[in-house]
Structure 1
Amino acid sequence: MTDRETRHRRAMQKLKSHVDERVASATEQRGQLLVFTGNGKGKTTAAWGTVTRALGYGYRVGVVQFIKGQWECGERERLQEDPNLEVAIMATGFTWETQNREADTRACLEVWAEAERLLADPEVYLVVLDEITYMLKFGYLDIDTVRQALANRPPEQTVILTGRNAHRELLAMADTVTEMQEVRHGFNAGLEARRGIDY
């Protein structure tokens, strides 16, 4: 065995020991609160990936889509026939298109009622609140209402919140926060959103 191979083996043994120790200390079992935020692309895609994973194990999943509801969504198209998936959509689309605060608030509260129902159902294993951060930023939803619904959800239920500029109180509540950082985005260079890739 060469010196390089010996050093590599020692480094991997040390790493394995560290990872094994961390795995052994992670013993708490419960639902989690995950936040996917930041200016980078991929927050909703990551959430739908987790939806697919949960459905793959036969769990019940609820997805509530704020903002993007009228857009095509390849993941939703592919998975919507799964009897364990329920999707509620805020049917107004992008708020910068509607430019109607009263109508957007009303539509938000209607779909939020569906979110509250899902968040109270112990049979629903995973709930995704896609783009909910905008509802708080624009004042369509009250942070106390959202925080209370999240705090009172069934203990085995996991919730994923997506969207830019996540509210600091949601970040404080979360078990895991992932920030998608934009390094470069083709849209800024004139690339049109591509079906099957971007939506």
Structure 2
Amino acid sequence: MTADSDRHAMKMAKKKAARDKIMATKTDEKGLIIVNTGKGKGKSSAAFGMIFRCIAHDMKCAVVQFIKGGMSTGERDLILGKFSDTCSFHTMGEGFTWETQDRDRDVEMAQAAWEKAKELIRDDSHKMVLLDEINIALRYDYIDVNEVVKFLEEEKPHMTHVVLTGRNAKEELIEAADLVTEMELVKHPFRAGIKAQIGVEF
């Protein structure tokens, strides 16, 4: 080995020892409250990545979509077509509020989605429940954020993970969460006149 290689090996050995020491202290397990928010793309995509990990490990899971309507998406079609025995999928919304233009109906649908979400989360056979775009319903006060936080803190089974997506997550939810990721918008093709495309957005 060269002197540079020796130095690199010693440096990496020290890093590994330090890392192993840190990892040895991480022994607890719990179901996490996970929030994906921010203006950047990828909030739901990242959440579905975790859902597919659960499916791959044969862990029962569920999805509730709060806003997105009946439009076909790759993840929904794949789950319903191939993995419905492991993951239940519930599309409860009728589209974004600017499309429905009916607040009362939006509130009614969001409340119904929240009731379904609570039912799924209470069932401790579910190892993960994804509440897709719930942050939008919370932002418009279709659902009370304090009710959501109280439920997650008091009724969520200890080992169940709950993932909540959508931009503009409320501070109360961020405070209650164990893991929060904010997707930052740097550049988006929509601004250059490029529409949403199959395989990327849906």
* Class of the TM-score when normalised by the shorter of the 2 chains: over 0.9
The SS at the match of 2:196 is: coil
Per the alignment, residue 166 of structure 1 pairs with 169
Per the alignment, residue 105 of structure 1 pairs with 107
Paired with 1:158 and 1:25, the residues of 2 have a C-alpha distance of 22
User: How far has the Cα of 1:186 moved from its partner?
Assistant: 0.8
User: How far has the Cα of 1:121 moved from its partner?
Assistant: 0.9
Paired with 2:193 and 2:90, the residues of 1 have a C-alpha distance of 32
CA contact (8 A) 1:108 1:135 kept: yes
Letter in 2 for 1:198: E
Per the alignment, residue 75 of structure 1 pairs with 75
Paired with 1:6 and 1:72, the residues of 2 have a C-alpha distance of 55
Paired with 1:138 and 1:48, the residues of 2 have a C-alpha distance of 24
Q: TM-score normalised to the size of structure 2?
A: 0.94
User: How far has the Cα of 1:79 moved from its partner?
Assistant: 1.4
Q: TM-score normalised to the size of structure 1?
A: 0.95
In the alignment of these two chains, the number of paired residues is 199
User: How far has the Cα of 1:69 moved from its partner?
Assistant: 3.0
Per the alignment, residue 195 of structure 2 pairs with 192
Per the alignment, residue 5 of structure 1 pairs with 5
Letter in 1 for 2:89: V
The SS at the match of 1:124 is: coil
Letter in 1 for 2:108: R
Letter in 1 for 2:191: N
Q: Deviations over 1:101-155 (max 9, x none)?
A: 1110011111111001011111111000111111111010001211122111110
User: How far has the Cα of 1:162 moved from its partner?
Assistant: 0.6
Paired with 2:129 and 2:98, the residues of 1 have a C-alpha distance of 26
User: How far has the Cα of 1:190 moved from its partner?
Assistant: 0.9
Instruction: Find out whether 1:30 has 2:33 as its counterpart.
Output: no
Paired with 2:14 and 2:40, the residues of 1 have a C-alpha distance of 34
Q: How does 1:110-121 map to 2 (within 5 A)?
A: 110-121=112-123
My pick for the range that moved more, 65-74 or 176-185, is: 65-74
Q: Deviations over 1:20-61 (max 9, x none)?
A: 122211100111111111111111011111001101111111
Contiguous gaps of at least 5 residues in structure 2: none
CA contact (8 A) 1:63 1:128 kept: yes
Per the alignment, residue 183 of structure 1 pairs with 186
The SS at the match of 1:178 is: strand
Percent identity between matched residues is: 40
Per the alignment, residue 18 of structure 2 pairs with 18
Paired with 2:4 and 2:106, the residues of 1 have a C-alpha distance of 62
The SS at the match of 1:80 is: helix
User: How far has the Cα of 1:73 moved from its partner?
Assistant: 1.5
User: How far has the Cα of 1:97 moved from its partner?
Assistant: 0.8
CA contact (8 A) 1:119 1:149 kept: no
Paired with 1:7 and 1:177, the residues of 2 have a C-alpha distance of 37
User: How far has the Cα of 1:4 moved from its partner?
Assistant: 2.4
Per the alignment, residue 134 of structure 1 pairs with 136
CA contact (8 A) 1:60 1:125 kept: yes
Give the RMSD, CA atoms, in angstroms: 1.2
Contiguous gaps of at least 5 residues in structure 1: none
Per the alignment, residue 58 of structure 1 pairs with 58
User: How far has the Cα of 1:71 moved from its partner?
Assistant: 2.7
